[in-house]
Amino acid sequence: MRTVLHALTRQAHSAKTGGPNGLELIAALDLGSNSFHLIIAELEGGKLTVVERLRENVRLSEGLNSQGEFAAAATQRSLACLQQFADKLKSTNATIVRVAGTSALRRVRDNGEFLAQAEQTLGHSIDVISGTEEARLIYGGVVQDMPGSDALRLVVDIGGGSTEIILGKGRNPLSLESINLGSVILTESHFIDGRISEAAFHHARADARAMLGTLEAVSLSGPGVDAIGASGTIRATDAAARELGIITSGDLTLASVEALIAYVLEFKSTAELSLTTLSERRSQIWPGGLAILVETMSELQIDRLRISDAALREGLLFEYVNQ
């Protein structure tokens, strides 16, 4: 099914043949620490219609060492994914391709070996963006995919290597913040070899709480704010809560996330987690993501968290259209 993303934008100067309908095709790639995403959309009359989505869980940051080197297996998975994306882009004739690298690539910015391999494989340059820029693009993708509103909005995106928290009013961000804490990082630090325990959750939550306490959004946010969650960890958590019957209707709440943590603590290892809504690779990093999410909702006094299907990649598309 095609998804129509409404953009408040000028008409494109000209339609370039690319898609099956003779419309201009534009693509955006989000190269995250945990997953790589590709989205391809047709542009017509100020509307973006998504015609293709690809996602691969590559765990790029897995085993990233202090010298800024990726583990061989992570490199192999990531380059194989980029080759798949390159083949798709060639077959679709996308006229514009925007590629953003986030937390994991920020951490190896000075080590150009992987980046050179990635750009050669993909056939396009990769823009390694800052955490603040990532936050800005996430907010743009989320709010432009929603009905217009002048309400105070809080957008939370928990990635594999970083968490972005944005407070805005309507379509305008007021506070853009990014912390170097993600589901992969926290899981590797506290849930060693996938082992689950109350002590691991206690320490993981304490680490998340310490980093969140310094954010400007904590002092500016409060009960009643329109809170929106984006990307893999939050979407997977919402889906798991519904599968387990913890949520039967409505939005994700702090109590429902606490209930999910209690559920996870029934197991001794992430390998034992078995939910149809969680892929094997997502379950391996879910405990760290849950620790960040529960502390984020607590520190920012989030009563309810709506879920958005849009994120950084949609923000890249909208920014091109709106320029």
CATH code that applies to domain 149-307: 3.30.420.150
Give the helix ranges, DSSP H, for 93-197: 103-107, 112-122, 131-144, 183-190
pTM of the model: 0.88
Q: What is the pLDDT of residue 17?
A: 45
| Residues in Cβ contact with 154 at an 8 Å cutoff, skipping those fewer than 6 apart | 165, 166, 167, 168, 217, 221, 225, 226, 227, 228, 300, 302
pLDDT > 60? residue 14: no
Q: Report, as an integer, the average pLDDT of 21-34.
A: 88
Instruction: Give CA–CA dist 78/64, Å, rounded.
Output: 13
**Residue pointed to by tokens 């920020």:** 106
Q: What is the pLDDT of residue 238?
A: 97
CATH code that applies to domain 3-131: 3.30.420.40
Q: Report, as an integer, the average pLDDT of 225-245.
A: 94
Is the model more confident about 12 or about 80?
80
Query: What are the tens digits of pLDDT across the range 60-119?
Result: 988 777 777 888 999 999 999 999 999 999 999 898 999 999 998 998 865 678 899 999
Fold: same for 3-131 and 149-307: yes
148: its two tokens: 């217009």
Query: What are the tens digits of pLDDT across the range 173-213?
Result: 999 999 999 999 999 999 999 999 999 999 999 999 999 98
Q: Report, as an integer, the average pLDDT of 139-165.
A: 89
Query: What are the tens digits of pLDDT across the range 31-66?
Result: 999 899 999 999 887 788 999 999 999 989 887 777
Q: What is the pLDDT of residue 15?
A: 36
Q: What is the pLDDT of residue 116?
A: 92
Q: What is the pLDDT of residue 2?
A: 42
Give whole-number Cα distances, 319 to 38, 100, 160, 312, 323, in Å. 16, 13, 24, 10, 6
Give the residue extent of every domain in the chain: 3-131, 149-307
Instruction: Give CA–CA dist 163/188, Å, rounded.
Output: 16
